[in-house]
Structure formats: structure tokens, C-alpha cells
């Protein structure tokens, strides 16, 4: 099921108004403190999958224990279901997951989104307990 077919059904399930796309065609839905951006995957012609991504918080790139924890989480089989962790160039942690492969029913997608949101909330809470990136202007 592609994003444009799935989004209205998901919004109906969550009882929210379907959002308007941004200038790049992405849609944002907020689940409490977790704001998820959905965009088409477009990796191959005819690809109907879509990608969900959310920002989790700032990460100190020198915090080796935290970085190791994030990398280890990506190795767990659950990462394929609940999302993969990464860092952007500004040192923000991101959780990303591909949806739509073999998922035909919006209810199944919604269940997977709920797991994605739960994972994002856990990582947001975890990152809130660690110092963020060092101020580079004083380095």
C-alpha cells in the first residue's frame, strides 16, 4: 500500500485530519511529543513503500557509550520492525523505518506505527538523560 492510499485510512483510524504535504511532498503527523514525517521511498520505479522518520534529540558525538548503545540497538532483530537509529550531520539522532512492504491493510500499518512511536518515545527519554553535543563555538 502506497503512502497516498494509506494516509487517509491511517488518519481515519487515528481520528485526525489528514495533513497537507510540505513542499517536498512529505506529510507530518504528531503522536504527542513524537512528530513523524512520512515520505515516499521512491528507491525503484514502481516502489510503493514509504518511509517514516522522527527526530529523537541531540547526541554528543564523543559519547562513545551512547553511540555504541545506538549501534547495538540497530543489530537487534527488533530494529527491522521498530526502526533504525542514525545521526544527521548536526548530531541529531533519527529513527527511520520503511513501511508498505507486504502490508496491505491500514490496521497492520497503524500497529507498526504504534511500535515505531513507542520506540521513539523510549529513545527520546534515553537521550534526555544524556548531555547533548558540546558547544562547538567554545571548542
Ordered by start, the domain boundaries in the chain are 3-128
- The β-bridge partners of 38 are 27, 52
Look at residue 57 in the predicted model and tell me its pLDDT: 95
pLDDT of residue 5: 83
CA atoms within 13 A on the CB side of 19: 17
Instruction: List the chain pLDDT tens, one digit each, 139 residues.
Output: 678 888 899 999 999 998 999 998 899 999 999 999 999 877 666 667 889 999 999 999 899 999 999 999 998 777 777 899 999 999 999 999 988 766 668 888 899 899 999 999 999 999 998 876 654 444 4
Q: Largest alpha-carbon pair distance within the chain?
A: 52
Residue 117: per-residue pLDDT = 95
State how far the Cα of 137 lies from the Cα of 8, in Å rounded to an integer: 45
Cell numbers standing for residue 89? 550531520
CATH architecture of the domain 3-128 equals 2-Layer Sandwich (3.30)
In the prediction, which pLDDT does 136 show? 40
Helix (H, G, I), strand (E, B) or coil at 33: coil
Residue 137: per-residue pLDDT: 41
Task: Report the C-alpha gap between 13 and 44 in whole angstroms.
Answer: 29
User: Parallel, antiparallel, or unpaired: how do β-strands 34-40 and 84-87 relate?
Assistant: unpaired
User: Is residue 122 classed exposed, middle or buried when 0-12, 13-18 and 19+ CB atoms within 10 A define those classes?
Assistant: middle
Q: Is residue 113 within 8 Å of 10, Cβ to Cβ?
A: yes
pLDDT of residue 133: 64
What are the two backbone dihedrals, phi and then psi, of residue 29, each rounded to the nearest 5 degrees?
-125, 135
On whether the pTM is more than 0.75, the answer is yes
For the packed helices 106-128 and 3-14, what is the interaxial angle rounded to 10 degrees? 80
Which pLDDT does position 139 carry in this prediction? 42
Amino acid at each position: 500500500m502506497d503512502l497516498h492510499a494509506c494516509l487517509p485510512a491511517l488518519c481515519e483510524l487515528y481520528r485526525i485530519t489528514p495533513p497537507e504535504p510540505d513542499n517536498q511532498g512529505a506529510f507530518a503527523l504528531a503522536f504527542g511529543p513524537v512528530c513523524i514525517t512520512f515520505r515516499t521511498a521512491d528507491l525503484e520505479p514502481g516502489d510503493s513503500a514509504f518511509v517514516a522518520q522522527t527526530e529523537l534529540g541531540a547526541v554528543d558525538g564523543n559519547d562513545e557509550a551512547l553511540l555504541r548503545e545506538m549501534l547495538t540497538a540497530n543489530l537487534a532483530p527488533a530494529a527491522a520492525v521498530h526502526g533504525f537509529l542514525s545521526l544527521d550531520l548536526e548530531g541529531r539522532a533519527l529513527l527511520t523505518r520503511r513501511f508498505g512492504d507486504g502490508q496491505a491493510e491500514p490496521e497492520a500499518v497503524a500497529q507498526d506505527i504504534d511500535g515505531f512511536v513507542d520506540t521513539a518515545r523510549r529513545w527520546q527519554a534515553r537521550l534526555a538523560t544524556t548531555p547533548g553535543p558540546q558547544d562547538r563555538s567554545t571548542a
